[in-house]
Structure 1
Amino acid sequence: MSDSTLWWLLAGSAIALELFTGTFYLLMLAVGMAAAALAAHAGAGTALQLVCAALVGSAAVVGWYIRKKRTPADPSVRALRSVNLDVGEIILVDEWLPDGTASVKYRGAQWSVVQRPGHAREPGAHRVVELQGNRLVVEKV
C-alpha cells in the first residue's frame, strides 16, 4: 500500500471519528493528514510527509482555536425573549439587601432578584435580562 493511500485512509478515519464524537478539531487534524497525502502524491519522503501533517494539522487546530476565541459567544438561552417571556419586562426594586439580592413582587409571586454583574445596585425600575433558576437577573433601566 502506498503512503498516500495510508494518509487518505487516516484522514477518512479521523473524519468518521469526528462524526461520532462531534469534536471539530479532528477535522482540522484530517486536513493535516490530507496535506500529507498530497505531499506523498508529490513524491515527498516519509519524514517530510509527517512534518507536513504535523504542521498543517497543528496550524489548522490553532487557527480554529483563535477564530473561536475571537467570535462572541451565543447569548444564553435563558436570556432570549423567544424562550422566556419574562425577559425584557420591567420590575420595580425598592431596596437591595446586603447580600446583593432583592425581593420583588412580580406576576403575583415573590421573586429573588440579582443585579447583572458589573452594574451598580440602585433602587428603581429594572429590566429583566435573564432568568437563572428561580432568580431574575436585572439591569437598571
Structure 2
Amino acid sequence: MAVSTMWWIVAGAMVALELFTGTFYLLMLSIGLAAGGLVALAGASNAAQFIAAAVVGGGAVIICYFVRRRRPGDPSPRADRSVNLDVGETVQVPGWDADGTAQIRYRGAQWTAIHQPGVSPRPGPHRVVELVGNRLLVEAL
C-alpha cells in the first residue's frame, strides 16, 4: 500500500471521528492529514510529509480558533425567542422602585421587571429582552 494512501485513510478516519464527536477542530486536523497525503503523492520524504501535515493542520486549527473567538457568541437560551416565548413581548411598566425593579402584571400574574444596566428607567411600554431567574429584563420602546 502506498504511503499517500495511508495518509488518506487516516484523514478519512479523522473526518469520521469528527462526525461522531462534533469537534470542528478535528476537521482542521484532517485537512493537515490530507496535505500530508498530497506531499506523499508528490514523492517527498517522510519528514516533509509530517512537516506539511503539522504546519497545515496546526495552522488551520489556529486560524479556526481565532476566527471563532472573534465571532460573537450565540445569545443565551434565556434571551432566545425560540426557547423562551416571553422574549420580544411588550409589557407596561407603571413605575420603577428605588431598587431598580418594577412590579408589573404580565400573563395574568405579578412579575418583577428589571431594566438593562446603564439605562435610566422610565415608565411606559417596554419589551422583554431576557428572563433572569424569575425576573423579566426589559428595555424601553
TM-score (norm 1): 0.83
1:41/1:102 CA distance change after superposition, 3 Å? same
Report deviation, 1:38: 0.3
Report deviation, 1:73: 2.9
Q: Equivalences for 1:68-79 in 2 at 5 Å?
A: 68-79=68-79
Q: Are the counterparts in 2 of residues 128 and 137 from structure 1 also a CA contact under 8 Å?
A: yes
Q: C-alpha separation between the residues in 2 aligned to 1:101 and 1:134?
A: 12
Q: Deviations over 1:88-111 (max 9, x none)?
A: 31321512353x443322222111
Unaligned segments of structure 2, at least 5 residues: none
Q: C-alpha separation between the residues in 2 aligned to 1:17 and 1:93?
A: 56
Residue equivalent to 1:16: 16
1:97/1:17 CA distance change after superposition, 3 Å? farther
**SS at structure 2 position matched to 1:18:** helix
1:67/1:46 CA distance change after superposition, 3 Å? same
1:114/1:85 CA distance change after superposition, 3 Å? closer
Unaligned segments of structure 1, at least 5 residues: none
Q: Are the counterparts in 1 of residues 37 and 49 from structure 2 also a CA contact under 8 Å?
A: yes
Matched, 1:123 2:122: yes
* Amino acid corresponding to residue 87 of structure 1 in structure 2: G
Matched, 1:53 2:58: no
**SS at structure 2 position matched to 1:33:** helix
**SS at structure 2 position matched to 1:137:** strand
RMSD: 2.2
Q: C-alpha separation between the residues in 2 aligned to 1:96 and 1:45?
A: 75
1:82/1:8 CA distance change after superposition, 3 Å? closer
TM-score (norm 2): 0.83
Report deviation, 1:12: 0.8
Q: C-alpha separation between the residues in 2 aligned to 1:15 and 1:93?
A: 57
1:101/1:47 CA distance change after superposition, 3 Å? farther
Report deviation, 1:22: 0.6
Q: Are the counterparts in 1 of residues 79 and 87 from structure 2 also a CA contact under 8 Å?
A: no
* Amino acid corresponding to residue 67 of structure 1 in structure 2: V
Report deviation, 1:133: 4.3
Residue equivalent to 1:102: 102
Residue equivalent to 2:27: 27
Report deviation, 1:138: 0.7
Q: C-alpha separation between the residues in 2 aligned to 1:27 and 1:115?
A: 43
Residue equivalent to 1:90: 91
